Structure formats: C-alpha cells, structure tokens
A and B are shown apart, each in its own frame.
Chain A
Amino acid sequence: MTESFKGMKPSRRQFLTGAAAAGAGAVAAGAAKAAGDPLITEVQEWAQATGEGVDATPYGLPIQYESDVVRRNVEWLTADTISSINFTPIHALDGTITPQGCAFERHHSGAIELKKEDYRLMINGLVDTPLVFTYEDLERFPRENHVYFCECAANTGMEWAGAQLNGAQFTHGMIHNMEYSGVSLRTLLEEAGLDAAGDLKDKWVYVEGADASSNGRSIPMEKALDDVLVAFKANGEALRKEHGYPVRLVVPGWEGNMWVKWLRRIEVTNQAIESREETSKYTDTLEDGTSRKWTWVMDAKSVVTSPSPQAPIKHGKGPLVITGLAWSGRGAITGVDVSIDGGKNWQEARLAAPGTDKALTRFYLDIEWNGEEMFLQSRARDSSGYVQPTKAELRETRGLNSIYHNNCIQTWWVKANGEAENVEVS
C-alpha cells in the first residue's frame, strides 16, 4: 500500500439516499393499517408453497437481500488491487464474530492458492534440530481455541489528516474477529528445541509466508512463547484462501501485518531482521521526522457501527439502539462510554458480554431519540487502564504523518433526518 492517502478522486453521486426510500415505506405501511396489513390478512406464497430442499445448498451464502453486506475496496488507496486492502462491513454486523466470507483482506502479492498436500512449515535457525512439518503433522499437536481480533495497523489511517471516508466500514473496517483453532507457537518451537538458542531473553523469531511478498516480520521471543498461535481453523472451519489457507500465524493484540498468512518458515535469530515490513512499512513517523519502530500492540479503540453513515436512522424518533465495537491489544475491554453531544457528556454503555483478552467486545446504549442532531462518539477503556484518546490528543504526541495506529475517538454527525456523516469536531 502506498502512503498517498491524500490524492483522491472526487465523485459526484450522493453516497447516501436513505431518506426518500424510508418515507415511501412509511406511507405504504400507514395505508395498510385501515383494512389490516395484507402481509398478514392475505395468505403469502411462502406460507402456501414449499421452499428449497435440503440438497439445494451444500454450502450456503447469505440470502440475496443481504447483498450489501460485503467487503468493499477503495480504489484510490493503492496502486493496484494485488497489494491492497478491502474492508469488513462492520456497519451491518452485530455481535463479535466476523463471518469469514466478508472479513477484510490485506495482501502484498495477492491471495495465493496453497493446498494442504503442498504445504510445508520449516523451523530453523538457533534451534536444536531444524524441522519440516507437513500439514498433517500440525494437526497432531495438542490444540487450543481462542477468539482474537486482527486489526490492520493502517486501520483508520486515512483519517489522520481529517475526516475522509464516509462510513464505519471504510474508517474502521480493516478488522476481523474469529475463533481460531491451532497449535501454540511455543509447542512447535519446543519440538525443534530451544537449548541451542541459549538465553532466550534477547532472541527473536522471524516469520514469513509462502507468498511472493513473504511478509517477513520479527517477533521477540517473549511474545512468541506467550500466546502466539499457528492456526489452521477459524470460526470452526478451515481458513479461507484469502486469510492464509491452510495455516496462518495469530499474534494476539498485535498489528495485523504480523499475522503472517500461508506461514512457511519460523526462524530463531539473534537479532531482528529489520525486514521491509518493519522498516519501510509499519514504522510510524512523528512530527519531528523521527519514526517509531516495533509499534506492535494495537491500543484500545472503539467505533459506533450504528447509527453511522452507511447505517442511517430510518425509523424516526423514539427508541434507538446505539451499538458498536470496542477492542484492545493490551487486554480486555472493561467499559465503553458513549456521548451523543460530541464529548461534552458521557454515559456508560452496556457490554453485551464481559470483555475478553484481545478480542472484539460488543456494546449497546439504548436511548430515546428526540429527533435532534447528535454528535455520536464512543470511548473504550481497557484492563490496563488505558482510555481511548481523541484525535487531537493523538496528534499532539504524534503529528499527522504516522499513518498507522490511529485509535482515535470517532465522531458521527447524526442529522435531524437520520443521516449520519463522518466529521471532526472541536
């Protein structure tokens, strides 16, 4: 991905056209009331004839009416679609588990096809015995299951300089959250033997993929032996091709770039390799021109997914569900505060379930909407005591050019007509 987030092509069409359609629907429903709703008073086809047989769909896709719940890409972000990004439709999802079929993709040389029979994993470097595993070997090691978020380091990166993209999918959708099944990296490293590495404190693990980009990254041994997983299942089934089939690395809480897909080699080293993906990319330039490297952890972050620019209020005044996602690479979400007045006042949202370590957490705030405009914000807090900052606070310490790790509080301007827009506020 290039860094030219600023040179974009204008488009003439309105992004959001919800208001007119919503009005027409309300009229039809009103007219039906006199004699009764024909959807009730008249026998419908689906209540009379039969539906599809169980042999119609061996592996199903969502119903056609959900065709807008799809990954989207933004053409002007990158030079081509091979080394590029697309976005999870978080504005339309609920709960915390991301359906794999619409979970975002980020490739550096495309989504490769690597079948299990051709798969090999090598462990080499400072180990007692360099090893080669087949896919079948990996399935014979003791297995673990964990739910974790994978957030691209560049998520929200286009928003550093200002409000740019109009929708939670585009501003916050470089993320997915899945239940992974796999083997702990620790188990595999111990199978190769770490006596040869000596003192493990200053050792590193270099990981790379089987694709042309290789996406090599250096991970300190302490993390490698802690909670990193070599995963082959996600949300119950094999990884999708675009998510690293048949084997990927899961690096809980850390930037998505390190979650190496199509994992083919793990090397124990004396030093960080300082590969392209940890020097040229995934380093964060500060205002004075120096840059942070090894900014691995994704800080606490949240976003209101509805209402949002792609999910306007169409039902008028009255009960309104405000909902969103919160997550932190530093631990569990302990609370989310929501403001409807741009951060003047906050109230604590309800967590759908207690936050878990380095995973997405769903929050709700149920309000009575009086039809007036709102400036919706959410603010996450995590188990380390970290509180999600405003964009102004982030810019104060980092300037405008760090590209990655933008975990600022997002503002949606919900207008009286129910439409919402991505804005920045004072």
Chain B
Amino acid sequence: APALAEKYGLGRPATADEIAAWDLDVSPDGTGLPVGSGDVFTGEEVFADNCAICHGDFAEGVDNWPKLAGGMDTLNHDDPLKTVGSYWPYLSTTWDYVNRSMPFGNAQSLTPDEVYAIVAYILYSNDLVDDDFELSNENFLDVEMPNAGGFIIDDRETSEKHFWKAEPCMSNCKESVEITMRAAVLDVTPEEEGSEEV
C-alpha cells in the first residue's frame, strides 16, 4: 500500500443527525447508551405486549424460539442452555440487540426507556436482580453478568498446534475401521423432490 493514501474526493460528509440515526451500537463499557431508565414491573408489561408470544411470559422461550432466561451453570453439561443469564458476557449486548433488532418482525419500534425496562425484566427473569430493580444508564455497569469471565480469545494456533503436521500418515494408519454411527438410522434428512412416489 502507498505511504500516502490517495483521496478520490468521493462521498460527502455525514451529518450529525445521520450518524445519530444509524450509529446505535453500545459497547461493553456503556459507550453509546442513551439517557433513560426502566424498572422490572414496567418491563414485565412491555415484555408481555411485545416479546412473550415467542419468548414466553417468563423469558423461558416458546417452542423452538430462543430462551432468554435459565440454564445457569449448564455450560459444561451435555446440553448447555445458553441464555442472557447463563451465557452472555455483557449486558450492553442485550440492550443493543433488543434496541436494534427486536421485536422480530418489528425492529426499532421500542423507546430507550422501554428497552431499559425489557432488559431489567430479562435480568429479573434470570434471578439476577430483585423485582423492584430499576435499570438506567447510570447503574448499567453495576450489573454483574455471571458468565462475564467465561470467554477466551481464539487459541487454536496454540491449543490445536498438533493439527499442523509435517508428515500426515499415508499408509497402514490404523488397524480396523468400524462404523460407530449412521445417519440413516437417525433418518432426519429432508426428502428429495421426485423420490416421494417410490
């Protein structure tokens, strides 16, 4: 790349209003949070009106829709239940994602105070706050997320160093080959069109 980047004079400066309209992301340190607040009781109502049809009255999930609460201490189980309470490292993500992308099919329809209230209710559903809790931009960082320390940065180049092999085995690599699992036994593959009559 050239030392001095060439400019082409294309595009135009973004206005402050335009940036405010689109730049909604919230960082783990709270950068991007608007002023506002909402409590658990309000959140329960807003959640019931906007979210419970898919996520359940208690954020426990309906059918195959995501469960937002529960699953505490299951991450090392055979079937971990990953929710905001059991898995998500930062509360900022919950606020940011609800604000920008929920409700599913009617995104960006919630006010900041409604989002604070919903997030407070999700925390309550996960037994992380009491029922009189009010969440605001002021106390946002005080909330402790149980799995905040549960993530490591990609370490494949060290923990999987043995996958970089100088000479992979080419012949007589193992003594026997036995089938240990068959997809046809499970039989969950969709049908091919055209084979239905046979």
Spell out A's residues near B (CB within 8 Å).
2-4, 6, 8-17, 20, 67-68, 72-76, 78-79, 82-83, 108-109, 122-125, 129-133, 137, 140-141, 162-167, 170, 186, 190-193, 206, 208, 212-214, 216, 225, 264-265, 267, 269, 271, 273-276, 279-280, 283, 285, 287-297, 299, 309-310, 337, 341-347, 375, 379, 381, 384-389, 393, 397, 400-401, 413, 421-426
Contact = CB atoms under 8 A, between A and B. Distances in A.
B172 interface: yes
Nearest to A127: B14
Contacts of A124: 14, 19, 22-23
Given A72-B190, A291-B150, A423-B182, A274 B92 contact: yes
A137 B11 contact: yes
Given A15-B192, A345-B173, A426-B176, A292 B27 contact: no
Contacts of A15: 184, 187, 189, 191-192, 195
B10 A164 contact: no
A212 B107 contact: yes
B75 interface: yes
Contact of A20 (B31, B64, B176, B198): B198
A132 B18 contact: yes
Contacts of B182: 163, 413, 421-423
Given A122-B19, A381-B168, A6 B12 contact: no
A342 to B, nearest CB: 3
A166 B181 CA distance: 12
Interface in B78-128: 78-80, 82, 84, 87-90, 92-93, 96-97, 100-101, 104-105, 107-108
A364 to B, nearest CB: 18
B190 to A, nearest CB: 6
Contact of B190 (A68, A74, A129): A74
A383 to B, nearest CB: 11
Contacts of A421: 182-184
Contacts of A292: 151-156
Contacts of B96: 273, 275-276
A126 to B, nearest CB: 12
Contact of B172 (A8, A122, A345): A345
B35 interface: no
Of the candidates A289, A294, A413, the one having the most CB atoms from chain B within 10 angstroms of its own CB is A289
B101 to A, nearest CB: 5
A215 to B, nearest CB: 9
B187 A422 contact: no
A354 B15 CA distance: 48
Interface of B: 1, 5-8, 10-14, 18-19, 22-23, 25-29, 31, 54, 63-66, 75-76, 78-80, 82, 84, 87-90, 92-93, 96-97, 100-101, 104-105, 107-108, 150-156, 159-160, 162-166, 168-184, 186-196, 198
A68 B163 contact: no
Interface SS of chain A = loop
A226 to B, nearest CB: 10
B1 A400 contact: no
Sort A-B residue pairs by CB-CB distance and give the 8 closest, nearest first: A289-B76, A342-B177, A289-B75, A190-B5, A422-B183, A212-B107, A79-B64, A8-B188
Given A2-B66, A124-B19, A310-B192, A280 B88 contact: yes
Contact of A274 (B5, B27, B104): B27
Contact of A344 (B80, B173, B191): B173
A190 B177 contact: no
A288 B11 contact: no
Contact of B28 (A3, A133, A274): A274
Contact of A170 (B152, B184, B189): B189
Of the candidates A15, A82, A386, the one having the most CB atoms from chain B within 10 angstroms of its own CB is A15
Contacts of A295: 154, 156
B173 A109 contact: no
Nearest to A189: B5
A79 B62 CA distance: 10
Contact of A287 (B1, B54, B76, B184): B76
Contacts of B168: 337, 346, 379, 381, 387
A293 B151 contact: yes
Contact of A343 (B5, B164, B177): B177
Given A72-B190, A212-B107, A78 B64 contact: yes
B25 A14 contact: no
A279 B192 contact: no
Given A130-B19, A291-B152, A293-B152, A191 B7 contact: yes
Contacts of A384: 164
Nearest to A125: B23
12 contacts: A67-B193, A73-B190, A122-B14, A132-B11, A164-B183, A265-B23, A274-B93, A279-B88, A346-B173, A347-B170, A379-B168, A426-B178
A30 B169 CA distance: 45
